[in-house]
Amino acid sequence: MSELQKNPAVPVGDPSAPPADAPSGNWQSFVAAAQFLTRVPLRRSSHVAGAALRKSPIFFPLVGTLIGLSTAGVVALGGLFWPAWLAVSLGLAFEARLTGALHEDALADFCDAFGGGWTREQTLEILKDSRIGSYGAVALILGILLRAGAMIFLASQYGFWTWGAAIVAAATASRWIAVLAMVCVAPVSHRESLARDVGARLGMRDLLIAGLWGLPGVLPFAIISPLHAAASCLVVAPLVWWLLQGIERRLGGITGDCLGFLTFVSQVAILLVAAAQLDFWKALP
């Protein structure tokens, strides 16, 4: 199932031909990005201007920051009444409702397709299927467990500013990685998706602007935990490069499910690095 079909708030159609009364500008681009990544009803109109839709990915990191702040806030509030594991569970449940489990759905679809498909045609056909198979179910369970486990460890071992910064940074950086993927890999042709309608028009300037919008979301993590922030870059960069190479070899391009998969995996990777004991050398004699 394409990502546009998963989110009815984002209209399907040619973004270069918007209705005459559809407004544009930075605000409308932000609204388009928020409509795609969340279920927040920021506007009543069912149409998004073509220019705003094309520009919307530069606001993905900013929307990711807001999602991360919301999740961290729910975890912090839950921590006032319950243990860390239950507070994190509430935070993840809230985020799943907020985003419509967009990236979790992409994770399951991607793993089903790349695990069960042997050819490009088989892989693309499975990606269209909304049903979850064995590969997708296992990936979804393990992915949520890894993410929850990292967050529980962070919330139980560190203060709010430390683990909150890590959650927000992971949410922000992972959405920027989706923009990076759209810039680096061409979309799969003849397939209805944001990767085709928007990704083909993105360039390095858009990637830089997206990074600037995401900077407030990752800077606190870099300041509070510079070692973990640097390690995150060293881990995520080759991981994303390897995944993009595999996706391009198999499909000859990228789809919305691939973008969602990369977002989820990079978010989990950052949280795992944030929870890692990188100061182990202090225990050496």
Residue 14 is predicted with a pLDDT of 46
Residue 158 is predicted with a pLDDT of 94
DSSP code of 188?
P
Q: Which residue, among 90, 139, 153, has the nearest Cα to 111 in the 3D structure?
A: 139
Place of tokens 């679809």: 109
Q: Which residue, among 56, 17, 54, 151, has the nearest Cα to 95 in the 3D structure?
A: 151
Residue 195 is predicted with a pLDDT of 55
Is the distance from CB of 154 to CB of 221 less than 8 angstroms?
Answer: no
Q: What does the block give as tokens for 117?
A: 């498909």
Residue 281: pLDDT above 80? no
Q: What does the block give as tokens for 125?
A: 């056909």
Q: What does the block give as tokens for 193?
A: 């998706």
Is the distance from CB of 148 to CB of 89 less than 8 angstroms?
Answer: yes
Residue 4 is predicted with a pLDDT of 46
Residue 10: pLDDT above 70? no
Q: What does the block give as tokens for 254?
A: 């990228």
Residue 88 to residue 224: CA distance in whole angstroms:
21
Residue 73 is predicted with a pLDDT of 97
Residue 60 to residue 179: CA distance in whole angstroms:
8
Please indicate whether residue 29 or residue 92 has the higher confidence score (pLDDT).
92
User: Which is it for the CA torsion 32, 33, 36, 40, positive or negative?
Assistant: negative
Q: What does the block give as tokens for 136?
A: 């997708």
Q: What is the mean pLDDT of the chain?
A: 86
Q: Which residue, among 188, 199, 214, has the nearest Cα to 36 in the 3D structure?
A: 199
